[in-house]
Amino acid sequence: MQLVKKLSLCIFLSVVVFKATAQPGTRQPISVYPDYSYRKKSDKSGMRHDAFELASKINIGWNLGNSLEVPGDETAWGNPKVTKAFIDSVKKAGFNAVRIPCAWDSYIEDQATCKIKASWLARVKEVVDYCVKDDMYVIINIHWDGGWLENHPVRTSQVQINTKQKALWQQIAVYFRDYDEHLLFAGTNEVHVDGTPTDENFDAQMSFNQTFVHAVRSTGGRNAYRNLLVQSYNTNIDLAVSKLVMPHDNVDRRLITEVHYYDPWDFCGLEKNEAWATMKFLWGTKFAQYGPISDRGQEDYVKAQFQKMKVNFVDKGYPVMLGEFGAITRPSLTGADLEHHLASRAYFFEYIVEQAKDNGIVPFFWDNGSGVFNRSNGSVSDKQALTGLMKGAAAGKYPY
């Protein structure tokens, strides 16, 4: 499909007027929040590189998963509080970019004004600074965040969600406005509803993208030129190709498309409480000699999927971020089965990273605390996986 810049919306006024976005016969109460833009004159200092130029500087990225996106308490999902020493370990291991999933809804101090707690903005800034001081690129987003946005791309709540999202992003953008191009913003995460999506869901999700872009740009300063990430529906590659229309932006070549990759799921993420009998602990055609592999999602499939993103986005002016990819370990395995599983997993990481970069896609490894690092002391807990990631990063070459 043509990536025509459109979706110019009129939901970004300080006072949001209810429009006919609800189903006929329904009424939708709409909150009115203050305008938090506090616009400053556009400032291009420290923002010299456009989306392609900046993407080319990221060797490989890493996700600080299950930490700052935890509602109300960054340690509640089992990871310790993030420290500068730990981020130093991530940099030392070879990553030069960090994606920081963030929660915001549970840190609103006043629901009537949608005002974010100053203490939480300061904490996110503290972690961002750990990364920036290590000369790493940083992405912050609105992640799952309790699902208020991510799980509701529907017409009946679209205006209310956009109103709240605008208020949050204006505050975030103003707070971080003086950071240079090392800091990027990503509007949402895996926005979706259960079941087969409809045009209503796609349209709502793309309106969230547009709200995000307008909200950030409305604050001016360096945000007038900041590189921004917008997501396909459910960060799905096929739905990016078939449905995603990139939002309108008033500055050229500063938008990046984001997708995620966990294929095949029976290898990457299938857990015991699911259809465990269909689980595959091996990936890659060369590992099929040791046991069953999935009948889809092998090397040729990876190439085809990433090539789609190159043809439909990279070649049309939008670099791509692979905001998440990964595969869980199978600790119940023993002996040769475990040995082959870990080798195949490392090969998967190597292959994904190399193919991503070859197609103009910037890879960010998903780590929820059981990935390649010991979060308590910063040591590398899975050297085999880390080696695979770094081999892929060294072999892959961006086509721009």
- What does the radius of gyration of the chain's CA atoms come to, in whole angstroms? 21
Name beta bridge partners: 141.
186
Task: Assess contact for 170 and 37: CB atoms under 8 A.
Answer: yes
Residue whose C-alpha is closest to residue 63's, from 135, 147, 138, 169: 138
How many other CB atoms sit within 10 Å of the CB of residue 14?
11
Distance CA 293, CA 95 (A): 30
Distance CA 322, CA 219 (A): 27
**For this structure, is 324 an active site residue?**
yes
Task: Assess contact for 42 and 221: CB atoms under 8 A.
Answer: yes
The one catalytic residue in 150, 181, 190, 350 is 190
* Crossing angle for the helix pair 84-93 and 118-132, to the nearest 10 degrees: 40
Buried b (16+ CB within 10 A) or exposed e, 294-306: beebbeeebeebb
Residue labelled with tokens 């796609």: 202
Distance CA 56, CA 319 (A): 9
Contacts for 79 with CB less than 8 Å, ≥ 6 apart: 66, 67, 369, 375
The one catalytic residue in 74, 150, 258, 324 is 324
Continuous segment of H or E residues that includes residue 258 = strand 255-261
Question: Is residue 263 helix, strand or coil?
Answer: coil
Give how far Cα 342 sits from Cα of 282, 296, 338, Å. 8, 20, 6
**For this structure, is 190 an active site residue?**
yes
Distance CA 382, CA 345 (A): 11
Which residues are marked as active site? Answer: 190, 324
